[in-house]
Chain A
Amino acid sequence: DTGVSQNPRHKITKRGQNVTFRCDPISEHNRLYWYRQTLGQGPEFLTYFQNEAQLEKSRLLSDRFSAERPKGSFSTLEIQRTEQGDSAMYLCASSPGQPQRTEAFFGQGTRLTVV
């Protein structure tokens, strides 16, 4: 399967714990995006990488959130000191570098439940 892969698919954690999600994009894609989606809403943009450089961060990305893409391949999204409001589906997407602003390829998402 050469699509975008996300792990884990589901995560249940206690409030206050840290969690980390992983995204493996399509191998030849140098753009990688993280989105968050709550029930009944469309995805909301969190952050974006071009290769290993994090180029844009939404104001939704509080200081408890950090994302990395150390070698320009896979990416991790960490949430520290989780809160119940962090419960959501976290979606990763990738796209080719050129042409810009084209379609994005999404993974199946990681559903986070904070109890």
Chain B
Amino acid sequence: SQQGEEDPQALSIQEGENATMNCSYKTSINNLQWYRQNSGRGLVHLILIRSNEREKHSGRLRVTLDTSKKSSSLLITASRAADTASYFCAWYSGGGADGLTFGKGTHLIIQP
């Protein structure tokens, strides 16, 4: 499957700082989603932004979507040690495919 690109691949910041992750995808989308994965565990859904939305907030999360550039960003404000995890963007490709396509992920480390 064609995975998108996420950058950076890894990000290390101090607790309290903001973390920004970017995602690029290759196809038309219905919506774009962000998931978190703690080490060696399943994925947890964080937020979904529809293709007709440009920005969405949920708690300390802010997601933007630019369909003209086929890109999205996830901002985590006031980071905490518990935010240490891998973050993946994901989308349903066009053409009726019903499985999510995931980016390669950003590994975020929050230094206490």
Contact of A60 among B1, B33, B88 (CB under 8 A): B1
Number of chain B interface residues as a range: 20 to 34
Answer whether A42 and B45 are a contact pair too, CB < 8 Å, given A101-B30, A103-B33: no
Count the A residues whose beta carbon is within 8 Å of the partner chain — how many? 31
Q: Nearest CB to that of B47 among chain A residues?
A: A103
Check A42–B97 contact: CB distance below 8 A: no
- Nearest to A111 among chain B residues (CB) is B40
A26-48 vs B, Cβ < 8 Å mask (1 yes, 0 no): 00000101010000111111111
Total cross-chain contacts (CB, 8 A): 69
Do B99 and A106 touch (CB < 8 A)?
Answer: no
Is B104 on the interface with A (CB-CB < 8 A)? yes
Say yes or no: B102 contacts A56, CB within 8 Å. no
- Give A46 Cβ to nearest chain B Cβ, in Å: 8
Q: Closest CB-CB distance, B7 to chain A, in whole Å?
A: 13
25 A-B pairs (CB sep. < 8 Å): A40-B104, A40-B105, A41-B105, A42-B105, A43-B88, A43-B102, A45-B99, A45-B100, A46-B99, A47-B99, A48-B98, A48-B99, A60-B1, A93-B43, A100-B98, A103-B45, A104-B100, A106-B35, A106-B42, A106-B43, A108-B41, A108-B42, A109-B40, A109-B41, A109-B42
